Structure 1
C-alpha cells in the first residue's frame, strides 16, 4: 500500500488531497503547522487508524527532519508519495511590503517546499538502490500572471515552478517523478484574504464563471501521483477553470 505525505494537510487543497488519497487506498500522513487541524483531517478519512497526523513547520529544517523521522518510525519506511501544499498569502502594495513579510512568504512557500522535498528525497533514497517515488508541488497561476499586491506570493510560487522542473530533471533517473499544479481561485480558507470585488473580477475572467473546489485540484494531484501519469515529468498543469488561458 502506498504511503502518502501531505504537508498543508490541515485544510484546503491539502485536506482534499488527504481525502482523495485515502479513498484511493493510500496510508496518509496529514502534516500541518496546526496539529489539531491535521488530526481533524484524519477524522474525515476512512480507516483513520492506518493514517497519521503530524505537526510540522515547513520553514524550519529541524521540524521537517523530525516529522520525517516520526513517519519512518511509525510505518517502518518513508512515504513514497508527497504533496507539497503548505502555503500562505499576504497582500499589500509593493511599496508597503516589509522585508519581514516578504521573507515569511518565501520561507513557507518556497523554502518550505525545498526543505520538505530534500528530506523526502534523502529518506527515500537512503540505503536503497532503485526506488519509486512521486511528488507534486502546489504552485499557483499567480506564478504566470501579473496581479497587483501579489508580488511576494507570486514570486514564491514562480520559484516553486522552477524548483519543480529542476528537481524533476535531477531526480527522475533516481526513480522519483516530480510535477506541479497551478491552481486558480479555489474555495479554501486563503480565499478569505481576497476582497470580494477582486474575487468577483477573477470569476468574471474565468470561462467557467466560478471559483474551483479543493477536490477538483486534489483529483488532478492524485492523477499526477499515480502510474496513470507515468510519462509526465516536470509538468506544471493549470487547473483554473480557464482563467488567463
Structure 2
C-alpha cells in the first residue's frame, strides 16, 4: 500500500469488528499508527494484535465523558499526537414507533450523538493546538432518507450531519477539518442480522444492484484522513451505490 498516511496518528471508535475494524486496517495499511477503541476491550486488543505493529487496542464507552477523555489522552500519549479521529461507534435498537421503548430511543441517540460529540470535543482540543487534524463522523443513509423501524437511528444519524457541519465551521480556522460519511447497505455483522428477504429487498433499491463492502467505506475514510481532501470540510459523502439519490 502507499504511504498516503505515513506518520499520521489515528483513533477509530467501534473498531473491534465490521466497518470500524476495516477502517483501522485501511488507515494502518496506508501508513498510520492506529488506536482501536471499542466497548469490548478484549476484542479491541485482539483486533489490534491482528493488525500488527503501530496498533493498540483500548476499551472505551463513548457515552462516558471520562472514558472518551481517557481514550484521547492515552492515544495521544501512545501515538505522540493525534491527527485523525474516526467516530464510528454505533448501535441499533430497531422497532416500530408502536413498539419502540424510551430506553431503545435514548440508547441509540446517546451512543451516536453524545458519543460523536464527546469524541469531537476531546480530539479537537488536541488538534487545535497542533493547528491540524481530520475528524470523520460516520452517519448513515438512514439519516438522509429515513428507515421504517429506525426512528431512533435515523434521527441520530441525521443529527450527526448537523453536528459535523457546526463543528466544521467552528474548527476550520484552527486547521481542523470535520467531515461525515453516509454508508448505505454494507455487508457487516449489523446487516447480517437482517432477514434474507429484507436484505434482498433493500439491495434491489440500489442502482448498483449490490451491497457495499466495508473496505469501500474505509477507502473513503482514508481519503478524508489524507491531504488529498485538504480543501474539504463540512461535507457529507454518500457511499451507497447510488441508493437514496
1:22 has 2:28 as partner: yes
Query: Does the 8 Å CA contact 2:18/2:188 hold for their aligned counterparts?
Result: yes
Moved over 6 A (4+): none
- Listed as ranges, the gaps of 5+ residues in structure 1 are none
Unaligned runs of 5+ in 2: 1-6
Aligned-partner SS, 2:98: helix
Instruction: Determine helix, strand or coil for the equivalent of 1:134.
Output: strand
Cα deviations by residue, 1:95-133 (Å, 9 ceiling, x for unpaired):
2111111010011111100011111112333xx3x5110
64-73 or 52-61, which moves further after superposition?
64-73
Matches within 5 A, 1:1-245: 1-45=7-51, 48-75=52-79, 77-125=80-128, 128=129, 131-245=131-245
Task: Tell me the distance in 2 between the aligned counterparts of 1:198 and 1:150.
Answer: 14
Q: Distance in 1 between matches of 2:75 and 2:106?
A: 29
Q: Please give the per-residue CA displacement for 1:174-195, whole angstroms capped at 9, x wherever unaligned.
A: 1100101000011111113322
Rounded to whole Å, the distance in 2 between the matches of 1:146 and 1:84 is 21
CA contact (8 A) 1:169 1:234 kept: yes
- Conserved in 1, the CA contact under 8 Å of 2:49 and 2:55? no
Q: State TM-score, norm by structure 2.
A: 0.94
How many Å separate the matches in 2 of 1:214 and 1:91?
21
Q: Tell me how far 1:146 sits from its aligned partner.
A: 2.9
